[in-house]
Amino acid sequence: MIVSNGERSRLDKIFSAGLGVADATKCVSDKLIIKDNVLFLSDKKYNLTKQKKIFLISFGKAAYQMAKGAYKVLGKRITKGLIISNTQPKNKISNFKFILSTHPVPDERSLKAANSILNILATTRKDDLVFFLISGGGSAMIASPDKNVTMEDKRITTQLLLRSGVDTNTLNTVRKKISKIKGGGLLKEAYPSKVITLILSDVVGDKIDIIASGPSLPDKSSAKDAWREICELGIENKLPPRVVINLENPIKEDVKKIKYPSHNTFLVGNNLSSLQAAKEEAEKMGYNSIILTSQISGEAKVVAKAIAAIAIEIKKSNIPIPKPACIIVGGETAVKVRGSGLGGRNSELALAFSIEIMNEKGISALFAGTDGIDGPTDAAGAYCNGKSRLKARELGVSAKDSLVNNDSYSFFKKVGDLKITGPTGTNVNDIGVILIEK
């Protein structure tokens, strides 16, 4: 372990404050208010006495916790509930069925989950109310291929895009164009019932039509834009032919002719709220604090250079804030996989950052995913400081070689600085906390 217990403790305290605000159960239960059988949601209200049945469908990494929050308020008013996630909950919720699905690459479990949703929507009627509770990861957990695309096509496409460093916007636009249920597909199936969607955002900029590929919102995405980025990445010839056909010649639907039910969408939690809570905690601890942005994107090792430059500037000249300082960032970086190692975007960001701040005293950082999962690993991210690279050398581990091989997980496992949380039950992107001491 290179990062000291004291450094870890301070970083963890700030990170945990941000994570606490993203508690999915509370995010939902605080949003729903019932008085005299009237449901109040922001500026909207629903007379529940006029709703014959209430169906609640929750999917994504925070599916169980979001459903729990809704049940806390709606209780036995819920006629039938369905929860789809990639982690098995310890407890059941009355009148809810749970389906274990997969992430990040869809498989037959994803198809089974999607069909279970469609079976419920086939029974809903005009005087019914359908809740969709959506969180990050939902794109992979429910999958129903377009008629000319196979599940194998979807699997290959998802794996290829994830390894290419493509951003979430393009990834989920492609998913929409090869799916029957994404891009408003579930919304169409819910007709003529009223629909309420509650969303926990894991997408930079809170683009609600991108989260889980927008299954309950009309599709306004452009296949042309997605295809342009795919060509820029040079992976167009690796995609399955049927997927290419859908992207080059998307089926044009007249949105005005599609029968969508009455629907409203509400954001219940996001990255910026978590960053604000983290900032407040850092200030209580005596740090001059700044939220750089909640919209970090781009390749992890490139982003690391920019953040490191700011941290070093604060250390040397107290600009843009004086020491002791806390820099807080959020969003979602990407990793273009070129090597054969193991890692995720947060551990790669931490590794690249540690290289940039080598020999800098008094700088430590934690980069971690709020869902507790960093890429295909059991870590949420990693801790690092100015000694990480040098101390690793003494253990026979090369930081630069690890970065080139995309082997950040192995690097931090060997030096003992992985951040392990297990699945957190929420998902509002990633949080980076950088401390600069006096």
Q: Do 253 and 287 share a structural domain? A: no
- Residue 421 forms part of a structural domain: yes
What is the pLDDT, as a whole number, of residue 252? 57
Q: Do 400 and 429 share a structural domain? A: yes
Q: Do 41 and 136 share a structural domain? A: yes
Consecutive H or E run containing 151:
helix 151-164
Sheet containing 33-35: order of strands? 33-35, 38-41, 44-47
- Residue 25 forms part of a structural domain: no
- Residue 87 forms part of a structural domain: yes
Residue 251 has pLDDT above 80, yes or no: no
Q: Do 233 and 382 share a structural domain? A: no
Note the pLDDT tens digit of each residue in 218-237: 988 888 878 888 898 889 99
Bigger pLDDT: 252 or 158? 158
What is the pLDDT, as a whole number, of residue 50? 94
Q: How many CB atoms lie within 10 A of CB 84?
A: 27
Last residue of a domain, one of 209, 243, 269: 269
- Residue 21 forms part of a structural domain: no
Q: Do 292 and 251 share a structural domain? A: no
Residue 300 has pLDDT above 70, yes or no: yes
Domain that holds residue 249: 31-269
What is d(CA 59, CA 141) in angstroms, rounded to the nearest whole number?
A: 7
Read off the tokens for 163.
Answer: 């390894």
- Residue 22 forms part of a structural domain: no
- Residue 291 forms part of a structural domain: yes
Q: Do 201 and 122 share a structural domain? A: yes
For residue 118, the domain's CATH number is: 3.40.50.10180
Last residue of a domain, one of 220, 249, 269: 269
Q: Do 69 and 216 share a structural domain? A: yes
Last residue of a domain, one of 221, 241, 269: 269
Q: How many domains does the chain have?
A: 2
Q: Do 306 and 180 share a structural domain? A: no
Q: Do 328 and 420 share a structural domain? A: yes
Q: Do 130 and 79 share a structural domain? A: yes
Contacts of 393 (CB under 8 A, 6+ apart): 399
What is the pLDDT, as a whole number, of residue 222? 81
- Residue 26 forms part of a structural domain: no
CB of 275 within 8 A of CB of 21? no
- Residue 100 forms part of a structural domain: yes
What is the pLDDT, as a whole number, of residue 267? 97
Residue 254 has pLDDT above 60, yes or no: no
Q: How far is CA 429 from CA 57, 66, 186, 196, 206, in A?
A: 22, 16, 24, 23, 10
What is d(CA 109, CA 143) in angstroms, rounded to the nearest whole number?
A: 9
Q: Do 198 and 73 share a structural domain? A: yes
Q: Do 322 and 217 share a structural domain? A: no
What is d(CA 236, CA 183) in angstroms, rounded to the nearest whole number?
A: 22
For residue 381, the domain's CATH number is: 3.40.1480.10
CB of 115 within 8 A of CB of 105? no
